[in-house]
Structure 1
Amino acid sequence: MSAALEDDARAESIRMIRDSAAAVAPPGGDLSRIRGLRFKAPGHDPATFRQLGEMGWIGLRVPEAQGGAGLGLGEACALAEELGAALVPEPLIPAMLSASLLAAVGAGPLEALLAGTALPLVAWQERADTLEVPGTPDAPRKFLVNAAAATSFLLPVREADRIALYEQAGGALTLEPTQDGGTFGTLTPDLAGASRIAGDIGEALALALDEAALLTGAYLLGGMERALAMTLDYLKTRSQFGKIIGTFQALQHKAADVKMQIALTRASIEAAAATLDEGATGDLRRATVSRAKARAAESAMVVTRQCIQLHGGIGYTDDYDVGLYLRKAMVMANQYGSATLHRRRFMATSPEGEE
């Protein structure tokens, strides 16, 4: 197949993924379902999560031989972007992280996860704002998204110079509410009641975490674009002093700045997905992901705050939807590494950061 035909086929694949997202992400921007799930356990709809499995989204990155779709990060980022635009709360990115890890080791509840009937969560994080996995056997595992719905937990545990993987069913779990209406969980490991399912997952977990960071950036990109679209619609209809406020030059300049932030984020996300799909490894992979995630995390906060300001007083009320995008950005911007962490990692791993 020629390069042109391959590019056309890839573009068509991404278009189909975006179209399929309408099943759970209404293109009209109706957020009534999202509002109905806020601040209620488990924070998402289990039936919709099963639907994600039935549509093949959880296994999007899993090889076909293991029951997945075997697609690339270009398709996965396009899907995450569409879900971000609709603020879909179902834990697709954590589920895809678990699926990638279980597929790499060839063990654990992969089949049930791909079907959306199980949610094993990778409990890897021991402190805030890190991508490092110490694997301390008895250390509490923190910042577990949608932990209340987990059917089991996948625990990376250091054994000598390797990271092994254990599966723990249940355990001591505490939940804390988050700004977007969901929860973060903290799990106390109980290795005595856990099963050892793999002996060395270090590199597989590092790759899965990088992909999760990139997908989180894509989700934030979708939220930014939807928040701007809502804002532009508002600027075209709201009148003040007898004029449509969208004609005010100062507001036009702010909207243009926001649009530039989104364009730069899109370029970073799409370039990173293409680079990883081409097989980037090591420092190149880490630098590429960090550049995109840093841009997305920082831009998401800038864009959503500016969109609220452009709405004026109504933007600060919880009843108005644009504020939901700021709340989501506040929660997700630091997941899988903040902008600060990723800037540091980019400087440490990219040739562009060398003196």
Structure 2
Amino acid sequence: MYSSEERLENIRMIRDSAATFAPLGDLARVRGQRYQPVGFDRSLWREMADNGWFGLPLPEAQGGAGLGMAEYCALLEVLGAALLPEPFVPTVLAARLLNGEPLAAQLAGERLLLPALQERNASLEAMEGGTHFCNGKVSGRKVNVPMGAGADAFLVSTPEGLALIEADASGVRLDRVPTQDGGHFADLTFDKATADLLPLDSQVLADALDEAALGTAAYLLGVAEQAFALTLDYLRTRKQFGQAIGSFQSLQHRAVNLKLQLALWRASLDAAAATCDAGAPVAQRRAAVSRAKARAA
């Protein structure tokens, strides 16, 4: 167990390392990835693995660093501020659901396995039979896999367990759905696609989804704080009627309101991370994560 001083030092070092890896203002690489078939840099994704970031919140027994949500969120804030398009949160989510050789390959950056968990309409899919595994084959569909065109394989949730399906397997169709920021989602259709069935603990999945939601909230906070910093800089330099527009009272009031919202957002995020790291009861932890994610959204 880390002392509070050790924890603060860990967070500082993580922030410094991430800021060196993804410097603010260096957006040429990010822009270059927009609207491309894959949409991110696989070599940079491997560098993240080399840094040990994919295992940051995983227990040491699973090959991770055994750190908490406070450290994980600190890292994601910096990555969000730099607008990194690499699918970091989905990578860590998948790692949470893996064991053995697939987990080792994921943490080492040798393979990219992305979770495919969402069905377009859960109640409708259930009536239609949903995505299911039978005799080593998977049939069904999943949607909204972030940056899914870059995956080597998918972790597909089924009532029978977690199906590991190669992206280039027969019976797999990937439809790339572009997003406004130049990235994409992948919608997947499986027609008797060959799969390996892995055990899936519903509690582990629920905890992993909570961590992913909190990580996403932290990434978005990094985006918002950097956008606010750029806005303040613009208010100081843009002139109208011979004076900086930041001197206009109406814009000052709007800036103050934004600053307050960011402060409330950070307080909610920090509280949720602390609640998770303190081992709070499941209901309390999920409520805290939901508050942070709702404020982020």
When normalised by structure 1's length, the TM-score is 0.76
Cα distance in 1 between the residues matched to 2:130 and 2:265: 33
The Cα shift of 1:128 comes to 6.8
Say which SS state the counterpart of residue 61 (structure 1) adopts.
Answer: coil
Residue 39 of structure 2: aligned partner: 43
Cα distance in 2 between the residues matched to 1:140 and 1:201: 21
Residue 124 of structure 1: aligned partner: 117
The Cα shift of 1:247 comes to 0.7
Change (3 A) 1:190 1:120: farther
Cα distance in 1 between the residues matched to 2:162 and 2:283: 24
* Equivalent residues in 2 for 1:22-33, closer than 5 Å: 22-27=19-24, 29-33=25-29
Q: Are the equivalent residues in 2 in contact too, given 1:124–1:135 (CA < 8 A)?
A: no
Say which SS state the counterpart of residue 114 (structure 2) adopts.
Answer: strand
Q: Does 1:19 align with 2:11?
A: no
1:196-244 CA-partner distances (Å, limit 9, x unpaired): 121x421111110111000000000001100010010111111100111
Query: Which of 74, 79, 96 is 1:83 aligned to?
Result: 79
Q: Which amino acid aligns with 1:12?
A: E
Change (3 A) 1:10 1:129: farther
Change (3 A) 1:100 1:281: farther
The Cα shift of 1:191 comes to 5.3
Residue 109 of structure 1: aligned partner: 102
Residue 135 of structure 2: aligned partner: none
Q: Which amino acid aligns with 1:197?
A: L
The Cα shift of 1:281 comes to 3.4
Residue 169 of structure 1: aligned partner: 166
The Cα shift of 1:282 comes to 2.2
Cα distance in 2 between the residues matched to 1:108 and 1:280: 31
Runs of 4+ in 1 over 4 A off after TM superposition: none
Q: Are the equivalent residues in 1 in contact too, given 2:140–2:191 (CA < 8 A)?
A: no
Cα distance in 1 between the residues matched to 2:16 and 2:175: 38
Q: Which amino acid aligns with 1:126?
A: E
Residue 63 of structure 1: aligned partner: 59
Residue 141 of structure 1: aligned partner: 142
Change (3 A) 1:129 1:267: farther
Q: Are the equivalent residues in 2 in contact too, given 1:24–1:88 (CA < 8 A)?
A: no
Q: Which amino acid aligns with 2:74?
A: A
Say which SS state the counterpart of residue 279 (structure 2) adopts.
Answer: coil
Residue 70 of structure 2: aligned partner: 74
Cα distance in 1 between the residues matched to 2:157 and 2:65: 26
Cα distance in 1 between the residues matched to 2:122 and 2:230: 31
Q: Does 1:100 align with 2:101?
A: no
Cα distance in 2 between the residues matched to 1:95 and 1:76: 13
The Cα shift of 1:65 comes to 2.4
Residue 347 of structure 1: aligned partner: none
For structure 2, the residue ranges without an aligned partner over 5 or more in a row are 133-138
* Equivalent residues in 2 for 1:321-340, closer than 5 Å: none
Residue 210 of structure 2: aligned partner: 210
Cα distance in 2 between the residues matched to 1:93 and 1:190: 28
Residue 186 of structure 2: aligned partner: 185
Cα distance in 1 between the residues matched to 2:158 and 2:281: 24
The Cα shift of 1:135 comes to 6.5
Alignment RMSD? 2.0
Q: Are the equivalent residues in 2 in contact too, given 1:217–1:292 (CA < 8 A)?
A: yes
